[in-house]
């Protein structure tokens, strides 16, 4: 007999199990896989002789206080990730080696979509429980949020593949737009603090610089989104 049974040995389950054990309860952790860690998984990628992060890699302590406490508890150190030198984007069966995952003429639509997401993120007040904030309209499938905002085509594919699949480990039907919005806040903080973000920013600046016409259209789209 156990006082507590925890289903799943991801970071959430493991820390909950540990905390319960620490206050004297007996705990059983049930994990379906043959390893612990859940979506945080550091392992070899097929064909590479070096390990890569398959899941959680970036942390923003200000937005992830629970995780920051774990980092502090175990005396772990934050490390800066490598700055990318080359990019390969695999999209709809084709691989591009351009600086941007999107064709230049798609950038205004991408900027509009980002502006909308960032605008939603400004509604979040950090440190206050979400249920006390007026955010229920955002707790819908991310796919629905994209459709409601008429985000389509390559921009939607990018949001789906990078945003939903890479950042959340689930498809856009399974992820809440509120979660996506949280990540947009994280991304803004990454931008403020990260060398990686700076490198990615430079990639986009380079792409925008290749087309003055496109840049003007982007600015126009921003102005519309902001009004």
Which residues have C-beta within 8 Å of that of residue 123, sequence separation ≥ 6? 133, 134, 135, 138, 181
Which residues have C-beta within 8 Å of that of residue 213, sequence separation ≥ 6? none
Residue range at the interface with ligand FAD (CB under 6 A); choices 58-66, 103-111, 113-121, 197-205: 58-66
Does 38 engage in binding with ligand FAD (CB under 6 A)? yes
Does 166 engage in binding with ligand FAD (CB under 6 A)? yes
Does 79 engage in binding with ligand FAD (CB under 6 A)? no
- Distance in Å, CB of 159 to ligand FAD, minimum: 15
Does 33 engage in binding with ligand FAD (CB under 6 A)? yes
Enumerate residues 10-29 that contact ligand FAD by CB under 6 A. Answer: 10-13
Binding mask 113-152 for ligand FAD (x = CB under 6 A): ----------------------------------------
- Distance in Å, CB of 49 to ligand FAD, minimum: 21
Give the C-alpha separation, 193 to 198, whole Å.
9
Residue 30 has phi, psi (to 5 degrees) of: -105, 125
Among 58, 89, 130, 204, binds ligand FAD (CB under 6 A): 58
Among 3, 5, 7, 144, binds ligand FAD (CB under 6 A): 7
């Amino acid at each position: 007999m156990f006082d507590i049974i925890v289903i799943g040995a991801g970071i959430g389950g493991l820390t909950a199990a540990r905390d319960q054990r620490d206050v004297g309860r007996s705990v059983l952790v049930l994990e379906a896989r043959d390893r612990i860690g859940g979506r945080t998984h550091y392992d070899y990628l097929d064909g590479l002789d070096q390990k890569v992060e398959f899941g959680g890699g970036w942390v923003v302590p200000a937005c992830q206080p629970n995780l920051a406490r774990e980092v502090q508890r175990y005396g772990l150190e934050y490390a800066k990730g490598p700055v990318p030198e080359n990019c390969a984007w695999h999209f709809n069966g084709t691989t591009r080696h351009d600086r941007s995952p999107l064709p230049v003429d798609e950038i205004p639509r991408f900027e509009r979509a980002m502006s909308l997401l960032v605008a939603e993120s400004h509604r979040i007040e950090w440190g206050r429980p979400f249920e006390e904030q007026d955010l229920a309209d955002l707790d819908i499938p991310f796919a629905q949020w994209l459709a409601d905002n008429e985000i389509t085509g390559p921009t939607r594919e990018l949001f789906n593949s990078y945003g939903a699949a890479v950042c959340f480990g689930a498809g856009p039907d399974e992820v809440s737009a509120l979660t996506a919005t949280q990540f947009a806040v994280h991304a803004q903080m990454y931008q403020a603090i990260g060398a990686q973000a700076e490198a990615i920013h430079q990639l986009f600046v380079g792409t925008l610089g290749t087309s003055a016409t496109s840049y003007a259209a982007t600015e126009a789209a921003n102005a519309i989104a902001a009004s």
